[in-house]
Amino acid sequence: MAKKFLNPEQKKRRYLANAKRYAVIGAFLLPYIILFATFFIYPFFYGIYISFFRWNVFDTASSTFVGFENYQKALFGIGDITIWREYFWLGLKNTLIFVLISVPLLILVPLIIAILIDIQPRGYKAFRVIFFLPTVLSISAIGIIWKWQFDTNNGFINGIINLFGGESVSWLNTQPGAWIAILVTTVWWTIGTNTVILGAGLKEVDKQLYEAAELDGCNYFQVLRHISLPAISNQMIICTITTVIASFNIYGQPALLTGGGPERSTTVLMMFIRGQLTGTNAQPGLAAAMAILMGLLIIMVSIGQLIYNRRAVNR
């Protein structure tokens, strides 16, 4: 095909048309870019900056540069003072406990629901809406609802237990009741998003594959294992990574349900970080350092999970 040459006038018109098109695209993207820069990029780099200072909230001019001292406090303590190290590692341990238990549940339960809805039983559209509805509620509303459900004296759950002759359980003040309450609340509140993502993936599976498997005599579980699950591997990866990130950032559920108790057994790292931002002895630099360390851990875990999932898919 002969190459088409443009005269200067045609080049000018093409340039103006492209400039107009990019200007329209930029005009639509500009509000998002401004908000993203204001509420993410600027706070992110400002947090890194603060983490290298002994920051004075009331007089930033008197803040002292301390280098990596805040990171040393969080990881190892300073001299004989180990309280910050204990806070960081205890909060991280509790956070990891929640992540290790909640992530499998937040993938498995939505997957089961998505599979059942994909069968399209009677009323499946209503169930799809019901499972998604809790995700639109704020964590404050969720906390109030479930704190009442798990109340020792007047809670609905203990009411059911008493109805069948059992004794009331102090869910929010003892272990493992406190973790059970947090996990149940989290699963009820957040499964809707993963259910929608996995359900959309199942809808895209070629139905001819199901028909061919049926002709070959495959049962439902064989079809599920060899056709449905491999077909939604990308959706599974997305759900896993986003769920891991969200679980690491847990704050509202333990703060509202248990207050971090009993005996700080549910005090997650975000609660310790927030504790360093408020009060007369606030240390924003230390809080920023803890937050950055947690962020680096989340990044490493997410990358590791992505690599593992990609390799599993390509086997």
Instruction: Tokens 């169930």: give the residue.
Output: 127
Answer for the pair 118, 202: CB distance below 8 angstroms, yes or no: yes
| pLDDT one-digit tens code per residue, 83-128 | 889 989 999 999 999 999 999 999 999 999 999 898 888 888 888 8
Q: What integer pLDDT is reported at residue 1 of this predicted model?
A: 47
Indicate if the alpha-carbon torsion angle 276, 280, 281, 284 is positive or negative: positive
Indicate if the alpha-carbon torsion angle 281, 285, 288, 294 is positive or negative: negative
Sketch out the chain's domains with CATH numbers.
62-314 (1.10.3720.10)
| pLDDT one-digit tens code per residue, 256-290 | 999 998 999 999 999 999 888 876 678 899 999 99
DSSP bridge partners of 78: 81
pLDDT higher than threshold 80 for residue 5: no
CA gap 237, 232 in Å, rounded: 9
Q: What integer pLDDT is reported at residue 170 of this predicted model?
A: 93
- Mean pLDDT within 219-230: 84
Please, which pLDDT band fits residue 315 given cuts at 50, 70 and 90?
A: low
**What mean pLDDT, rounded, does the chain reach?**
88
Answer for the pair 266, 254: CB distance below 8 angstroms, yes or no: yes
CA gap 67, 19 in Å, rounded: 46
| pLDDT one-digit tens code per residue, 286-310 | 999 999 999 999 999 888 888 887 7
pTM (predicted TM-score): 0.86
Output the CA angle 85-245-117, nearest 5 degrees.
145
CA gap 182, 106 in Å, rounded: 13
pLDDT higher than threshold 60 for residue 246: yes
- φ and ψ at 54, to 5 degrees? -85, 90
